[in-house]
Amino acid sequence: MTRNQRFTTTVAAAPRGHVLIAVPFDPDAFWGSKSRHHVGGTVNGMRVRGIVEADGDGFGFTLGPAWLRGCSLGVGDTVSVDIEPEGPQRADLAEDVAAALDAHPQAALFFDSLAQFYRRGYLRWIDATKRRPQQRPERIAEMIRLLEAGHKQRPQS
């Protein structure tokens, strides 16, 4: 499956001094169904991170005034975009973690909506069981419970 997507689009105005970068494809079709797609890549060669979400009849992500400063980008400009999903995706997960998420759709949906920082945090915590492999299933089960309760990260003890 191709992860990165390259396209050209026209910059549109968005509220509060932001601009909208329209995405000319359905990200669910390319990257799997999610409410929000955290992406990284470039717009006209400049690094960008954003969240692709539904926007009217299509999809897009916004760039704020801080990103726009000094990049000579304005409403109506045609830009080259190269984006891909950020962080670990479902296809990248260990089999036991993927199976647990598949068995718990609510937890999986919440996991998929998290920024890479939070997804990686859970995965690092689970992978830290190398010296005590019997803890791994316990931690996976705890991750599922936390995700189902809507916790972005596990509480620090």
Indicate the pTM of the whole model. Answer: 0.71
pLDDT digits (tens, 9 = 90+) for 47-69: 999 999 988 889 999 999 888 88
Closest CA to 1 of 23, 22, 21, 27: 27
Place of tokens 């991750």: 143
Question: Helix or strand or coil: residue 114?
Answer: coil
First to last CA, the chain: 39
Query: Mean pLDDT, 10 residues at a time, over the chain (157 residues)?
Result: 86 93 92 85 93 90 88 90 87 91 94 87 92 94 96 85
Among residues 32, 27, 28, 9, the alpha carbon closest in space to that of 19 is found at: 9
Residue type, 109: L
Q: Which of 78, 80, 2, 82 minimizes the C-alpha distance to 39? A: 82
Burial of 72 (C-beta count, 10 Å sphere; 0-12/13-18/19+): exposed
Identify the structural domains of the chain with CATH numbers, from first to last. 5-85 (2.40.30.100), 90-148 (no CATH)
Give one DSSP letter per residue of 29-46, joined into a string: HHH---S-EEEEEEETTE
